[in-house]
Structure 1
């Protein structure tokens, strides 16, 4: 068996990843989802640092549960209580933890472009837990896993992604991975929330057309990003682009609702649809742990 290079062991994004590589991660996630023991010693004796330079609750806890289920020793690092507040650079922080002997790093960053630079200068595998508006690969992998588990395959599906495409790392990772796996992606967004550079990969369609897909994926409206007039009001957004009860009735009978969470209820999706029979939102969340177990195993074996 050929030894993996460090480039293979990083998970920086899904752009350019092959269908076979994506399928192998999903297959391994399926293995871990049905694994009979809650905690294994599969990676016992290894150390992993969760380095979150941007706030997160669900992603960090999901990674931590996955790591502890694999038998790893876990160090949790948050920038709010670290030397980064005193001016220490992200690079120096990662290099410091590397010098202490960690075996892998899970990293979440606000700025774009920093992660690739870090990966070129460290000797440990890095796993992207969200970098800027660039990619969020493990979120897209758990989305793919949810679709594959529900429909039996991803190839041939049409997936509409609705919301703030411009700032969404979830939309980008899903776009690249769904394309590689043979699905068709459509975007729907207000003009100010569109990313024109992605239009060659997925067309922008009307809300009515977006509802006619196998998967309707709503994105969180990042209210904190829209203080400069991109979003006039949450009510106006719901009226134009929210998944309301009335719009849900226009969806195909077999279609499912997805959302990466956290959810702004009654903004991008009506409260009563969050746990509707069509909704896979909390099922998606449950898939985060086995998917991240598979990703961590990929980096450390």
Structure 2
């Protein structure tokens, strides 16, 4: 039994997509789609949710706040830069103090790998934590919203799809969660592409066909999942220059023509335009970037409901 599941196999926390069953993923995606389709939800009325972010965020923080509000929750917004953490208070003490105020739900972003799981291990039994991104390890709700977006575009059966993940996979928690979800949902073919210096040396790429040449990797794929070049997490020298990176691994309109004619383009944001993706592609007809953002609210509603209002949330099995 994994720490994020209770004795009955229901979600207690959402820390990673690794190890979650296909039934869990599909149930969450189905519930998220119901919210996209307009189903109202006030299942968290009277419940307090705190966005506990120790790293900067735009899309993730705001969409969690919007998701909690749509479910009727009371939302507290924690900003590390203006909090007592600047005076030396630990993340655990911060969590415990906010728990003492009656807060049951925490959405946590942390700079350290495993940082959210460490907090979850010390939380009260009635407290639920959602990993909103920890170090390079996991970003499970981004993985869910990406799968929701891909499912809307290509259908629920992933077995015939060829999906390409491109760029700074070594430093990307998004890539890890996306790859875990794609494998669990039975994608037909997974390809990975990026400079050798930005490919991981662990099991992240298990089951992937690694293609070094970007033009070759694009041939015939149904979805291109671009990744941000995460300069804040990498050592100097891993990329010779941004211009060189764009020449080798930047997605241009000309390059995109190598993919299937109805291929879709995804990017978790924030985008470095002119580095990993050109503006005319990011804003073009094959781009699902803004749909990903919109779907983030629904996917996070499904997760918060499953954790904090299990009777109203998705059923598994």
Shorter-chain-normalised TM-score: which range? over 0.9
Q: Which whole-Å CA distance do the structure 2 matches of 1:116 and 1:201 have between them? A: 26
My pick for the range that moved more, 92-101 or 135-144, is 92-101
Name the counterpart of 1:26.
29
Q: State the TM-score, normalized to the length of structure 2.
A: 0.90
Query: TM-score scaled by structure 1?
Result: 0.94
- Please state which structure has a larger fraction of its residues in helix: 1
Where does residue 272 of structure 2 map in the other structure?
A: 264
Contiguous gaps of at least 5 residues in structure 1 = none
Instruction: Report if aligned partners of 1:214, 1:255 keep a CA contact under 8 Å in 2.
Output: yes
**SS, match of residue 216 in structure 1:** strand
Task: Answer with 181-190 or 52-61: which moved more.
Answer: 181-190
Q: Secondary structure at the match of 1:105?
A: strand
Deviation at 1:202, TM superposition (A): 1.9
Aligned to 2:156, what secondary structure does the other structure show? coil
Alignment of 1:94-109 (within 5 A): 94-109=95-110
Report how far residue 36 of structure 1 moved: 5.4
Quote the Cα distance in structure 2 between the aligned partners of 1:255 and 1:75: 40
Count residues with an aligned counterpart.
297
Once the two structures are superposed, residues 4-23 of structure 1 have per-residue CA deviations (whole angstroms, 9 ceiling, x without a partner) of 76972200010011111100
Q: Distance in 1 between matches of 2:279 and 2:136?
A: 27
CA positional deviation for 1:223: 2.9
**Is 1:194 the counterpart of 2:195 in the alignment?**
no
Aligned partner of residue 108 in structure 2, secondary structure: strand
In the alignment, what sits opposite 1:211? Answer: 218
Aligned pairs for 1:133-144 within 5 A? 133-144=136-147
Any residues of structure 2 matched to 1:107-126 within 5 Å, and which? 107-123=108-124, 124-126=127-129
Q: Which string of whole-angstrom CA distances, capped at 9 and with x for unpartnered residues, describes residues 137-185 of structure 1? A: 0111000001111111242122111010010000000111110000132
1:42 Cα deviation from its structure 2 partner: 2.2
Residue in 2 that maps onto 1:129:
132
| Alignment gaps of 5+ in structure 2 | 1-5, 310-317
The aligned counterpart of 1:282 is 290
What residue is the counterpart of 1:145 in the other structure?
A: 148
- Name the structure 1 match of 2:50: 49
